[in-house]
Chain A
Amino acid sequence: MKIAVLVKQVPGGDSPLRISDDQLWVIEDNVNFITNESDAYAVEEALQLREKSGEGEVVAVSFGPERTQRTIREALSKGADRGIHIEDSYPYSSDPLKIATALSEALKEEQFDLILSGLQSDDYGFGQVGVLLGETLGMTTATLVMSTELSDGSLKVKRELESGWFQWVSLSLPASISIQSGINTPRYPSLKGIMGAKKKEIKSVAPDSATAAAQAISRVYIPQKTKKTEMIEGTADQQVKRLAEVLKKEIRVV
């Protein structure tokens, strides 16, 4: 079984985020870049699937600037076999279709049986790259996967739907699925893993520049906090009526 796992490097939630001067991103000094949360679960799922099938390869793939190699290295230290890094430059790509196309160009020769990705990135949150890549490479796809069962060339997955509903779907291989956080218990890189990862290969690929981006970030800003106070006056009946209206129509809590 040959598995690719897509990992993205994102700013850690605890980092102080300040908007960059060009208003297209954040100032990166003092920002802690970490592996996107759901991607860490995807890495673990890939490693467990490889372990269950007894043989195969897990390749950690990332699209991003040079610092993103650290995220690939982290997957390698947990047990991924090699890495592929598709280089991006500033201002960073924010068009899922462009990213998926670049990934498919870099990966089509590899003939993966399975591509795992996190459900969505914690910075942009588009949640599309895994599915688009699957479609581009002619694979079956499923999103929001909470459980996987692999048997003889087909993959059964449990998907999370709305309102606490779930769905079991059978996919033929090759397939691309996106993983929901919490599906497993991610391992910690052992010392041997960390040392061994230094010797593992990370292949750098220049992105296919032919595809034009269909969308781009125009401005990053911090949402304005606003405060509104309304004094409700009148008789008790009028006050109750107005209060009910506010709760129902404006704040929408009842």
Chain B
Amino acid sequence: MQFSFTEQIALLILTLAALSSFTYEVWRRLRIVLKGSGHFSLNRFGERAWRTFREVFIHERVIRGRFWPGLMHALVFWGFIAFGVVTLDHFAVGFGKPILSHRADELYSVVAIPVAGLVLLGILVLAYRRFITRPAALGKLSPTSGLVAVFISLLMITYIYGEMSPASVVAKANWWFHSILILAFLVLIPRSKHLHLVFAPFNIFFRPFDTPDHKAVNIDLEAEEEELDAMLSDLTRLSKNQALDIFSCVACGRCTDSCPAHRGGGILSPKDHFILDLRQPMLDSGDVNVLEGINVEAGWECTSCQACTFACPVGNQVEKSDEIRRLQVMVEGQVPQQYQKLFMNLQETGNTEGAFSSSLAETLPKFTPEKEYVLWLGCFARFNLDPNFTQSVENYAKILDAAGVSYGVLEEEWCSGDPANRLGEKMTYQMLMEHNLEQLSTVKKVTTMCPHCAVNVGKEYGKHANLNYEMQHHTQVISSLIENGRLAISGKSSEAVTYHDPCNLSRMLGEVDAPRKAIRATADDFFELEESGTNTLCCGAGGGLWWKKEGTGRTHLVRAEQIVESRAETVVTSCNFCYGMFNQGLGPLTPEGRGPVEVKDLADFVAENAQV
């Protein structure tokens, strides 16, 4: 195909205009992102690269989360990759300097034409889903998505037509049409959610390894007023990672679909409240100090379960309840009354219940330096938040005794600070943490049955201090005792058993195998719930909601219903809060004629089937 000088000038002007528009809009957003606090980390580079390959090029999360739409999206994405060379060559031809020889172009088209057909299939199915099926998660109809669907379809059609037809006036017109579509696409991308094309791969690459990844708040009680003001104003700012999230969001709504508060009928929609609501304010102000604008009521509904973050296909750390709540508590002083009582208890007595002694702690051996483990009880167990759980602690103690493991409780164990931390009371958190770190200063190994304590004492304290001890959740200890033969199994139970993954254990500590190994060793009929592993659904008690009790809609019932509706005769869990929620919650939900589902901690289940 030949192009006149005038045509080439026109092409040059159009290309430069589209490219500058694209660059300007991307730069404008990038500049805001770079104003975020912290920095993008390059640590564990290999892992990051491998993750990016899997999640971007293989589309692992995209397909796993929603299989058919995910696969269709993958077709379109892989088409984009395949068409990279074609598109470059297309413009090169316009300037009379083709990259591909005629022969190479012909050869490539043998692959590219079928690929174009697959892209066409993919985009049409996606458009059908978006505009005809209209799942609620996608929100209100987006005209730009329609435009993009039309663009991509026309690009494929014009490409196929161009490859199939001999040079003619119509072919020339077709060439120009194809070019203008591409340039228009360039203009459209940065102004719409289709910017994820540019940002998502970087966002996935830079995504922090820890979930959640909220900035640690260090409070200096001796600070000067200016330092305090600077610290408080810093709390309104997003980090660089969080800012990049906002512009990478593709508004697919998987986070909202997975959110227990949303599924329980609450107002919280992570997609809107934690991500999209921040986008326009950032563009308007050109800055990242937008956290004050988030819907507060929605923020108090969050269970901090991290389902949203795990569901996100573009690598966002979605949850912002930490940011919302710490502003409410530390800057605004607006705190629901139940939580004020909780905070007061923590400050006055070092525990959630305002209690002065624990009858359970008195019956257990005290920790002395020659013992292997500190048995960290946590307030739930110490103060009988569910009286039945006392038996579970005793069962864990029996297992340790039977396996010859020495352990003891700390006399001065205070609350790990989990509720204070998750509810934004970072000053109380710091006070509790400092006390506990002192108690643990010479300790080497700690084990606990509470995943909330395990996350805080074992991981989050590490954001503030160097930890000299190792934290092992009891599922990890029990599983390894079975594996290395120190705990003898006496027989296998025959009831239908399922396992509920606690969010703190599965998503925040990444432990899904240990409890399953222990159950498989002691059960004949183990089956998985539909939502399991890191894809689990929160029981409703996380994020301090255990102490809120009312006003949380049906968040606490959704998971309980799933368990009652499964074929389980026993549900095993490994978190005291989940245990308490199900112990209270399953009974009333059980329909007449169906036997009650037994709720057991992993320690109960293993103790029943082991020589203890």
Could you tell me which A residues sit within 8 Å of B by CB distance?
12, 14-16, 30, 32, 34, 78, 185-196
B221 in contact with A78 (CB, 8 Å):
no
Which residues in B have their C-beta under 8 angstroms from that of A188?
329, 333-335, 340, 343
B337 touches A186 (CB 8 A): yes
The answer to whether B228 and A192 touch across the interface, beta carbons within 8 angstroms, is yes
A15 to B232, CA, bound (A): 35
Further contacts, 18 of them, CB under 8 A, given A14-B345, A194-B427: A14-B356, A30-B356, A32-B349, A34-B348, A187-B333, A188-B329, A188-B333, A188-B334, A188-B343, A190-B330, A190-B331, A190-B332, A191-B330, A191-B427, A192-B330, A192-B331, A195-B225, A196-B225
Is the beta-carbon distance between B232 and A191 smaller than 8 angstroms?
Answer: yes
B354 at the interface (CB under 8 A from A): yes
**Distance between Cα atoms of A12 and B357 in the complex (Å):** 15
- Interface pair B228/A191, CB less than 8 Å apart: yes
Q: Quick check: A12 and B354 within 8 Å, CB to CB?
A: yes
Interface string of B349-393 (1 = CB under 8 A from A): 100011111000000000000000000000000000000000000
| Per-residue interface assignment for chain B, residues 101 to 131, with 1 indicating a CB less than 8 Å from any chain A CB and 0 otherwise | 0000000000000000000000000000000
10 contacts between A and B (CB under 8 A): A12-B348, A12-B354, A32-B354, A188-B329, A188-B343, A189-B333, A190-B330, A191-B219, A191-B427, A195-B223
Contact residues in B for A12 (Cβ distance below 8 Å): 348, 354
Name the prevailing secondary structure of the B interface residues.
helix
User: Who on chain A is nearest to B333 by CB?
Assistant: A190
The smallest beta-carbon distance between A63 and chain B, in angstroms, is 22
10 tightest A-B CB contacts, nearest first: A188-B335, A190-B333, A191-B330, A14-B354, A187-B333, A188-B333, A32-B348, A188-B340, A16-B356, A195-B228
Q: Is B86 an interface residue (CB 8 A)?
A: no
B333–A78 CB distance below 8 A = yes
Structural contact, A185 and B348, CB atoms closer than 8 A: no
Q: Is the CB of B340 within 8 A of A14?
A: no
A83 to B331, CA, bound (A): 23
Q: Which of A15, A34, A186, A189 interacts with B356 by CB under 8 Å? A: A15
A71 to B186, CA, bound (A): 63
Most buried by A among B333, B344, B354: B333
Q: Separation in Å of the A55 CB from the closest CB of chain B?
A: 21
Tell me the complex Cα distance, A191–B424, Å.
Answer: 11
* Chain B residues with CB below 8 A from A15, complex form: 356
Supposing A14-B355, A15-B356 touch, asked if A191 and B348 sit within 8 A by C-beta, the answer is no
Cβ B221 vs Cβ A195 within 8 A: yes
A contact patch SS: loop
With a CB–CB cut-off of 8 A, which chain B residues contact A185?
337
Interface residues of B in 207-249 (CB under 8 A from A): 219, 221, 223, 225, 228-229, 232
Binary flags per residue of B415-433, CB closer than 8 Å to A gives 1, else 0:
0000000000001000000
What A residues does B329 contact at CB under 8 A?
Answer: 188, 190
Tell me which residues across on chain A come within 8 A of B221, comparing CB atoms: 195
Q: Which residues of A contact B349 (CB under 8 A)?
A: 14, 32
Contact of A186 among B340, B348, B357 (CB under 8 A): B340
Residue in A15, A191, A192 with the greatest tally of chain B CB atoms within 10 Å? A191
Cα A194 to Cα B606 in complex, Å, equals 48
Q: How far is the CA of A14 from the CA of B346 in the complex (A)?
A: 13
Kindly report which residue of chain A lies nearest to residue B426, judged by CB atoms.
A191
CB distance from A185 to the nearest CB of B (A): 7
The smallest C-beta distance from A126 to any residue of chain B, in angstroms, reads 25
Residue of A nearest to B327 (CB): A190
CA distance A252 to B221 in the complex (A): 57
Nearest CB on A from B538, distance (A): 26
| C-alpha spacing A226/B345, complex, angstroms | 33
User: CA of A79 to CA of B171 in the docked complex: distance in angstroms?
Assistant: 76
Bound-complex Cα distance A14 to B351 (A): 12
Closest to A31 in B: B356
Assembly CA distance A12 to B223 (angstroms): 31
A188, B353: Cα distance in complex, Å: 19
CA distance A208 to B228 in the complex (A): 41
B301-360 residues with Cβ-Cβ distance < 8 A to A are 329-335, 337, 340, 343-345, 348-349, 353-357
Structural contact, A187 and B427, CB atoms closer than 8 A:
no
- Residues in A whose Cβ lies below 8 Å from that of B223: 195
Q: In the complex, what residues of A have CB within 8 A of residue B333's CB?
A: 78, 187-190, 193
Kindly supply a per-residue 1/0 record for chain B positions 432-462, scoring 1 wherever the CB is within 8 Å of any chain A CB and 0 otherwise: 0000000000000000000000000000000
CB-based contact A191/B331 at 8 Å: yes
Which chain A residues lie closer than 8 Å to B427 at the CB level?
Answer: 191, 194
Q: List chain A residues, Cβ under 8 A from B355.
A: 14
Distance in Å: Cβ of A70 to nearest Cβ of chain B: 11
Q: Which residue of B lies closest to A33 (CB)?
A: B348
- Whether B340 lies near A192 (C-beta < 8 A) is no
The CA of A192 and the CA of B225, in the complex, are separated in Å by 9
- Closest Cβ of chain B to A72, distance in Å, is 17
Cα–Cα, bound, A137→B316 (Å): 63
Digit string of B472-498 for contact with A (CB within 8 Å is 1, else 0)? 000000000000000000000000000
What distance in Å separates the Cβ of A214 from its nearest Cβ neighbour in chain B?
Answer: 35
Q: Give the complex CA separation of A196 and B333 in angstroms.
A: 14
With both beta carbons as reference points, the residue of chain A lying nearest to B331 in the complex is identified as A190
Between B221, B331, B344, B353, the greatest number of chain A beta carbons within 10 A of the residue's beta carbon is seen for B344
Residues of chain B within 8 A (CB-CB) of A186 are 337, 340
Residues of chain B with a CB closer than 8 A to A16's CB: 356-357
Q: How far is the CA of A83 from the CA of B329 in the complex (A)?
A: 24
Expressed in whole angstroms, the Cα–Cα distance for A54 and B229 within the complex equals 24
Query: Closest CB-CB distance, B172 to chain A, in whole Å?
Result: 69
Complexed CA–CA distance, A186 and B354 (Å): 20
Nearest CB to that of B337 among chain A residues? A185
CA of A186 to CA of B344, assembled, Å: 13
With A and B bound together, what is the CA distance between A228 and B427 in angstroms? Answer: 52
CB-based contact B219/A187 at 8 Å: no
B348 closest partner in A (C-beta): A32
Chain B residues within 8 Å of A194, by CB:
427
Q: For the complex, what is the distance from the CA of A189 to the CA of B428, rounded to whole Å?
A: 12
Pick the residue among A32, A34, A187, A196 that contacts B334 (CB under 8 A): A187
Q: How distant is the Cα of A194 from the Cα of B331 in the complex, in angstroms? A: 11
Minimum CB distance partner of A16 in chain B: B356
Q: Which residues of chain A have C-beta atoms less than 8 A from B356's C-beta?
A: 14-16, 30
A185 to B338 alpha-carbon distance, docked (Å) = 11
Query: What's the Cα separation between A115 and B337 when bound, in Å?
Result: 25
List residues of chain A with CB within 8 A of the CB of B354. Answer: 12, 14, 32
For B335, list chain A residues within 8 Å (CB): 187-188
Question: CA of A186 to CA of B337 in the docked complex: distance in angstroms?
Answer: 8
CA–CA, A185 to B225, complex, Å? Answer: 28
CB of B422 to closest CB in A, whole Å: 16
A114 to B349, CA, bound (A): 35
Q: Which of A34, A187, A192, A194 has the most CB of B within 10 A?
A: A192
